[in-house]
Amino acid sequence: MDNRSIGFFDSGLGGLTCIPYLTAALPEERIIYFGDTARTPYGSKATSTIRNFSMQIADFLVQNDVKMIVIACNTVSSICLEDLQFRFPEIPVVGIIAPAAEKVAASCGNENRVGIIGTKVTIRSEAYNRLIRELKPELEVYSEPCPAFVPLIEEGIIRNDIMDMTIRYYLDDFVLENRLDTLVLGCTHYPLIRDRIERFYPDLRIINPSEEIICSIQQILTERSMLAIHSERENIFYASDLSENFMNMIETIFSSQEMKVQFKNLDIENTRK
């Protein structure tokens, strides 16, 4: 048993899309979430910058005594999972790409046509393609960067014509020309526009990494006897810019759940040792 919190982080509010799946599967667990809202988006930044930001955040989470770090960000997972695992050998560090790639390999036959959408960095890294190819070499996988989605979502521009036009701009040709039947939402912000995507492409089967990662978390905590039991802790949500959007999104995502939460603004650059 280990009642310490699980540390989650993302460039902004996208990683919050994992939390309802976590609380449904593991209701005893508590979390410390960090959204780097002051510096989002990460997905078009240099890899050295993203690595530096990620190390700062992971250091902060470890200083706050988390029992595990969950990289609730495809962009970070695609380029610095091993660096973070190397830096914190004493706790499990879980990336979001491998569980989703395993789901693709397990649930698709070679006749399926799979599309991956994500940030520029995630798509350029080819992390999804590499892992899927290892597990299922014959499967056709196509990928497309969609860099405008994250800034729009962080701005709360979700249920309106601007988002709909952006979805069609990125996905119409991608889906039709490649005759896709499966789409991986390879950015944790994208589940927030899942229903909009499904309106335009109702026949696509969606794979959501924010959901798939929960199995890995559960498996690791179980194997290491680290599951929480009756934790008295609160869930704490830190943001480097505690914006109205961030708090509204937490309220939207958790509206149906009883959650004790604390919000905190944190200047991550000045907390680094």
**Of 80, 146, 187, 215, catalytic:** 187
- Dist CA 40 CA 150 (whole Å): 8
CB of 132 to ligand DGL, least distance (A): 17
CB of 246 closer than 8 Å to CB of 222:
no
Nearer to ligand DGL, 187 or 259 (CB): 187
**18 flagged as catalytic:** no
Nearer to ligand DGL, 152 or 226 (CB): 152
Buried b (16+ CB within 10 A) or exposed e, 78-87: bbbbeebbee
Nearer to ligand DGL, 94 or 226 (CB): 94
CB of 27 closer than 8 Å to CB of 104:
no
3-state secondary structure 220-237: HHHHCCCCCCCCCCCEEE
In the 8-state DSSP scheme, what is residue 111? Answer: T
Beta strands in the chain (DSSP E): 6-10, 31-35, 68-71, 93-94, 113-118, 140-145, 182-186, 205-207, 235-239, 261-265
Nearer to ligand DGL, 30 or 39 (CB): 39
CB of 97 to ligand DGL, least distance (A): 9
Nearer to ligand DGL, 127 or 226 (CB): 127
CB of 158 closer than 8 Å to CB of 152:
yes
CB of 230 to ligand DGL, least distance (A): 32
State which residue has the least CB distance to ligand DGL. Answer: 43
CB of 133 to ligand DGL, least distance (A): 20
Q: Which positions lie near ligand DGL, rule CB under 6 A?
A: 10-12, 14, 40-43, 73-75, 119, 122, 150, 187-189
**108 flagged as catalytic:** no
236 - beta bridge partners? 32, 262
CB of 254 to ligand DGL, least distance (A): 18
- Dist CA 106 CA 7 (whole Å): 28
**Of 73, 80, 108, 146, catalytic:** 73
- Known catalytic residues? 73, 187
